[in-house]
Structure 1
Amino acid sequence: MSKPLDIQQKKLFELLKANRRITETLTLKEIGEQIGIDYAQGVINKLRQLENRGYIRKDEKGIYQVLKDPIEDIFYFPLIGFAHCGNLVETSLDDISEQERIPFPTKTLPIGSKEDLGKFFFTRAKGNSMEPAIYEDDLVLIKYQKEATESDKTLLVHNGTPKIKYLKATDGQYTLFSLNKHTDTLELSPKDEVDIIGVVKLVVSAR
């Protein structure tokens, strides 16, 4: 059983539940006055403690989220197959079954509840078409979602092959773009099958 929050942690947690933008509207000194801490670094320490214990997380805009249930700092995300950063590889969907689990800190991720953890998984990059953002053998963290914008690095399955590409849709027709200027753009025909799996949220370098 986890250790209960101390008095100052509880007060700060309640302030954040009431107003998650409180660190923007009040100074650290003013927050400290409300929770019984008389120096700014003490407030920073308490925020860090709440974050490390899984009570709060920063979202993609740096605003604190109060989580429904505490989330442990380390979560074991599934590693699912390979995603090809190249155009000339054929792979069966049978290759993207779960292989192992990768421990990774959750506080860097846009997670609002324990249920959100199931929306993420790792895959391993193969090929060089997304260099310099993604290199061969990098671990790529994907968030499951069925929609992607042109600015998203997208994990998709193209004719049975999982790939990481930029995806542009025009009048129902897809074009796949790479970062590597030496890799050809793929203009797909209506006969091509494309299924969006998710978008890239983080890359862990293998180098």
Structure 2
Amino acid sequence: MVNRIKRALTRRQKEILEKIQDFILEHGYAPTVRELGQMVGLANPSAVFKHLLSLERKGFLRREGGEVRLTQMPEAVNTVRLPLVGLVPAGTPREMFDTLGETVEVPAWFSGRKRGNLFCLKVTGKSMIDAYIDDGDLVVIERTDTANSGEMVVALLEDGSVTLKRLRREKGRVLLLPENPAFKPIEVKEVRIVGRVVGVIRKY
């Protein structure tokens, strides 16, 4: 089980985390900065943004492409168990998941209304480090065969190998982009999407 971080939160920061959690449970996605401000009584979006930056520095959430994703909660919360189906390389692609046959306990708000369609993978490698996904972290994957350009996905390549990368479609090209300058993009003619990343549980 991934250890939970234990860093001091202000009363306001804890309130913001709880409001984000409640919103995700109800809607399946995080609120906007403006919506969050309305929920906690902050009319100035910059004040909300300041709190989000503090929470990100403390490791409780991360922001990606304008979206807020929670990584940890400050206290024990309701949990569910998702299947840990194997390892996914964030580095050099390799053959389909090494099956682990285990389950992982995760906060219930990760699953929202999609629990039956979610599974976990353990990351190996550092090609996604600049997206705050490191070797040993767990990613929560929504099983789907479609994804938008810009989303982080688990992709099955033509040779049967899998990789965790950011999907980019441009000018008829399909690119799987790392989030680490030490790794090169992968260009493919066709790609099969296994799922998209909807959450990250960090190894601390």
Which bracket does the TM-score occupy, shorter chain normalised? 0.5 to 0.7
**Alpha-carbon separation, structure 1, partners of 2:185 and 2:30:** 32
Matches within 5 A, 1:136-147: 136-147=135-146
Shift of residue 197, structure 1, vs aligned partner: 1.0
Greater RCO structure (CA 8 Å; 6+ sep)? 2
**Alpha-carbon separation, structure 1, partners of 2:174 and 2:110:** 32
> For 2:133, what is the secondary structure of its paired residue?
coil
Indicate the RMSD between aligned Cα atoms, in angstroms: 2.7
**Alpha-carbon separation, structure 1, partners of 2:109 and 2:167:** 28
Matches within 5 A, 1:7-22: none
**Identical-pair percentage:** 22
In the alignment, what sits opposite 1:99?
101
CA-to-aligned-CA distance 1:174-199 (integer Å, 9 cap, x gap) = 211111011111122x4xx5210111
Shift of residue 172, structure 1, vs aligned partner: 5.0
In the alignment, what sits opposite 1:151?
150
**Alpha-carbon separation, structure 1, partners of 2:88 and 2:150:** 18
**Alpha-carbon separation, structure 2, partners of 1:97 and 1:179:** 25
Shift of residue 57, structure 1, vs aligned partner: 3.1
Shift of residue 108, structure 1, vs aligned partner: 4.1
Structure 1 runs (4+) deviating above 6 angstroms are none
Equivalent of residue 78 in structure 1, options 65, 79, 83 = 83
- Check the 8 A contact 1:57/1:107 in 2, yes or no: no
**Alpha-carbon separation, structure 1, partners of 2:28 and 2:90:** 28
Aligned amino acid, residue 139 of structure 1: L
In the alignment, what sits opposite 2:202?
205
CA-to-aligned-CA distance 1:46-93 (integer Å, 9 cap, x gap) = x99xx6xxxx63532448xxxxxxxx9321100011111113x432x3
In the alignment, what sits opposite 2:133?
134
Q: Unmatched 5+ residue regions in structure 2?
A: 1-14, 36-76
CA-to-aligned-CA distance 1:6-49 (integer Å, 9 cap, x gap) = xxxxxxxxxxxxxxxxxxxxxxxxxxxxxxxxxxxxxx9xx99x
Aligned amino acid, residue 90 of structure 1: R
Q: TM-score, normalised by structure 2?
A: 0.59
Which protein shows a greater Rg?
1
Aligned residue-pair number:
138
> For 1:197, what is the secondary structure of its paired residue?
strand
**Alpha-carbon separation, structure 1, partners of 2:102 and 2:186:** 32
> For 2:116, what is the secondary structure of its paired residue?
helix
